[in-house]
């Protein structure tokens, strides 16, 4: 029932276009190369409504970018060579040129064509949203709302036309570059951090420690005071009862130092999420929209999908959702992943298990590598930075603590432990 209603709605709407403006734009491009520069700063072939105009636009731009002639005779020759002469012939080119009142005004007509293209895209998105709303599918109404928001966000990015061009280096370096720290010296707003470690070696514990410390305004490793920040934890692996036991001592310690407890939110989804599905992706976006955290902790990765962990397209779908959240809400993201088993010939790898995208996608990748033959009460993990886009002050190693589960160690402290023989 919804389909015919939407189809009828669509049939009543004439796609916005201005064929006369398209002719002026193309005629101007044929008359002068400078017009091509002005036009391509505003338009792509998709902005032109007439299919023949789009193909001619692409041909002219391609010749211009290749350094070839773009005069009418030259383009007529290329139309013949490519077989497009059957679609646009010599008289058509003459009519395009004759439609140009003044070449200097071509920018005005290009903007007119761009506006029509944007309106058509808007209409397409609106119809797509209407179709989703009208059809009764497994996708929930809430998922449709989030899908609509994403579609309109993308359209907004297209509409925010920026043709300012590259910045001169003198001006580029003149701007003050300040770090927007979430964790001073470690993580800036909007960054992606992926923690890896063998199974049951404390990476989830470290993630909880970071979450509570950021929310309470405490540096997770040196205990210095920072600004408390809102944190959202989506645990897709551990049940409520386990998280209650693990978070309780961390929160008790934070209370002693004094903090606003409404800075930390947690949701346990031990059955996992499938961020490749519209429903689960929309659910996660809704939680972030409610809390508006500065730090989102979600994972582990293997519980964010139901497919082959080595599939690059699966990883790409997950990162697409996470990157949308980062861009839309401006939060940093901390995730965790297992590291693969070694071959027995050396230390176990610290890279993330699964698709290679997980090694390229994060801004910072940190692996916890167990130090062999360590007293369990003095458990020590070397911190291996397997990915870093910038220099940061992550500790060289971590050891089991008392007030906090993990305490940072410097490289000198680790070497001192080795020298004493407590760490062979």
Task: Label each residue of 267-280 as H, E or C.
Answer: EECCCCCCCCCHHH
Q: How distant is the alpha carbon of residue 193 from its chain centre?
A: 13
Determine the pLDDT at residue 173. Answer: 84
pLDDT band of 382, cuts 50, 70, 90: very high
Total number of residues shown for the chain: 424
∠ CA 9-12-14, nearest 5°, is: 120
For 110, counting Cβ atoms within 10 Å of its Cβ (0-12 exposed, 13-18 middle, 19+ buried), the class is: buried
pLDDT band of 1, cuts 50, 70, 90: very low
Determine the pLDDT at residue 206. Answer: 97
Determine the pLDDT at residue 362. Answer: 98
The residue-averaged pLDDT of 168-174 equals 84
The residue-averaged pLDDT of 239-252 equals 94
Task: Quote the strand ranges of 204-280, DSSP E.
Answer: 231-235, 264-268
Q: Sheet harboring 364-370: ordered strands across?
A: 264-268, 231-235, 295-299, 332-338, 192-197, 364-370, 380-388, 397-400, 406-409
Q: Mean pLDDT score of the chain, rounded to an integer?
A: 88
Determine the pLDDT at residue 14. Answer: 83
Handedness of CA 81, 82, 86, 92 (dihedral sign): negative
Helix, coil or strand: residue 386: strand
**pTM for this predicted structure:** 0.70
Determine the pLDDT at residue 6. Answer: 44
pLDDT band of 372, cuts 50, 70, 90: low
Determine the pLDDT at residue 7. Answer: 46
Q: Which domains does the chain have, with CATH numbers?
A: 2-159 (1.10.860.10), 181-420 (3.40.50.300)
pLDDT band of 175, cuts 50, 70, 90: confident
For the segment 253-283, what is each residue's pLDDT rounded down to a tens digit? Answer: 888 777 766 799 999 999 999 998 888 888 9
pLDDT band of 241, cuts 50, 70, 90: very high
Q: Structure tokens of 423?
A: 């760490």
CB atoms within 10 A of CB 88: 19
Asked if 291 contacts 267 with a C-beta cutoff of 8 angstroms, the reply is no
Determine the pLDDT at residue 8. Answer: 45
């Amino acid at each position: 029932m919804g389909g015919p209603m939407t189809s009828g709605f669509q049939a009543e709407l004439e796609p916005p276009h201005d064929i006369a403006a398209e002719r002026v734009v193309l005629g101007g491009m044929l008359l002068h190369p400078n017009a091509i520069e002005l036009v391509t700063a505003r338009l792509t072939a998709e902005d032109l409504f007439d299919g023949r105009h789009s193909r001619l636009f692409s041909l002219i731009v391609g010749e211009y970018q290749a350094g070839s002639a773009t005069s009418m005779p030259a383009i007529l020759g290329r139309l013949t060579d490519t077989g497009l002469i059957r679609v646009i012939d010599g008289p058509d080119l003459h009519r395009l040129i004759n439609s140009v009142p003044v070449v200097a005004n071509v920018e005005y007509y290009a903007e007119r064509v761009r506006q029509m293209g944007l309106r058509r895209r808007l209409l397409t998105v609106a119809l797509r949203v209407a179709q989703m709303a009208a059809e009764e599918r497994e996708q929930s109404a809430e998922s449709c709302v989030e899908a609509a928001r994403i579609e309109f966000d993308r359209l907004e990015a297209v509409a925010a036309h920026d043709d300012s061009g590259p910045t001169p280096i003198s001006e580029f370096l003149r701007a003050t570059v300040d770090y927007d720290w979430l964790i001073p010296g470690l993580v800036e707003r909007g960054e992606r951090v992926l923690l890896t470690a063998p199974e049951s070696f404390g990476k989830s514990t470290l993630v909880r420690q970071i979450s509570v410390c950021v929310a309470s305004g405490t540096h997770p490793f040196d205990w210095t005071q920072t600004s408390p920040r809102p944190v959202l934890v989506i645990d897709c692996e551990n049940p409520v009862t386990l998280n209650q036991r693990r978070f309780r001592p961390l929160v008790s310690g934070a209370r002693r130092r004094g903090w606003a407890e409404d800075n930390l939110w947690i949701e346990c989804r031990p059955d996992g999420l499938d961020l490749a599905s519209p429903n689960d992706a929309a659910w996660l976006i809704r939680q972030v929209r409610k809390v508006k955290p500065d730090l989102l902790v979600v994972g582990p990765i293997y519980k964010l999908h139901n497919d082959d962990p080595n599939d690059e397209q699966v990883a790409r779908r997950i990162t697409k959702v996470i990157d949308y959240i980062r861009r839309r809400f401006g939060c940093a993201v901390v995730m965790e992943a297992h590291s693969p088993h070694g071959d027995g010939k050396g230390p176990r790898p610290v890279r993330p298990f699964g698709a290679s995208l997980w090694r390229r996608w994060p801004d910072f990748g940190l692996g916890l590598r167990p130090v062999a033959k360590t007293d369990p009460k003095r458990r020590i993990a070397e911190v291996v930075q397997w990915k870093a886009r910038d220099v940061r002050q992550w500790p060289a190693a971590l050891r089991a603590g008392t007030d906090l589960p993990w305490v940072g160690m410097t490289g000198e402290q680790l070497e001192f432990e080795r020298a004493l023989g407590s760490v062979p």
